[in-house]
Amino acid sequence: MIRFLLIFAVIFSTLFNKSAFSQGSFIQFSGVAVSQDSLKPVPYCSIIDKATKRGTTSDYFGYFSFVANKGDTVEFSSIGYKKSSFIIPDTLSTDKYSLIQVMFQDTILLKTAVVYPWPSKEQFAKAFVETEIPNDDYKRAMKNLSRSQLNERMKFTPMDGGLNFKWQQQQIQSKLYYAGQYPPNNLLNPIAWAKFIEAWKRGDFKN
C-alpha cells in the first residue's frame, strides 16, 4: 500500500510539473555574466531569484542556468563587482530565456592604515637609539665613506641625468654670458698662474 502511494505521488508530481511548464509558469533562465570593461566572463558569479530565494552560481566561463518564474527579479553579485538585478519579462511566449548580464566593477576605498613595527613612536625612538651596531659593520661603513674611497669611486661613476643636465645648463649660461665677446683666456691670467705655482710647490700634482 505504501509503495503504491509513493508511485502515485511521483506520477502526480511529474504530471503537475509538466502541466506547470506547459502553462508557462516556469522558464529555463540561462545566460552569461561578463565584465563591462573587457567583456570577459565573470566566473563564480552568484545568481539569486529574490522571489524564491533560489539560484545558482556561474561556472568558470560565466555561464549559468536554472529554473525561474516569469516576472521574478534575479540578483547578480560577485566580489569586485557592483550588485545588479534583472526582471524576467512576464510576457514571454516560450519556456526559455537567455541573457548576457554585464557586471560593472566596484571600487572599494579602505581607510588609511599606518603599519608600525612598534606600538608607539616613543618605543620606536627608544629602540632606534639603543640599537647596537656591530663593530665590524661600523668599521666597514666608515671605510666605505672615507675620502679616498669616495674619490676612487667618483672616477669610475658616470654622471646621472641630473648632473648631465646641470653641466649642459652651465655651458649654455657660459655662452650667453660671453655672447658678443671673447671668453677669458686663463693662460694670460696672472692670478691663475700664481695659484698654479703655489699648488705645484705644495706638491698637489705628485699623485
Structure confidence by residue, pLDDT tens digits, 188-201: 778 888 888 888 88
Q: 31: which strand partners?
A: 64, 99
CATH superfamily of the domain spanning 2-103: Carboxypeptidase-like, regulatory domain (2.60.40.1120)
C-alpha pair distances (Å), 102 with each of 35, 62, 80, 155, 205: 6, 11, 13, 62, 78
**Residue ranges per domain, the chain?**
2-103, 121-202
Judge contact between 58 and 42, C-beta under 8 A: yes
Record the pTM: 0.44
Of the two residues 7 and 70, the one the predictor is more confident about is 70
Read off the pLDDT of residues 82-130 as tens digits, 9 standing for 90 and up.
Answer: 999 999 998 888 889 999 999 999 888 888 888 777 788 888 888 888 8
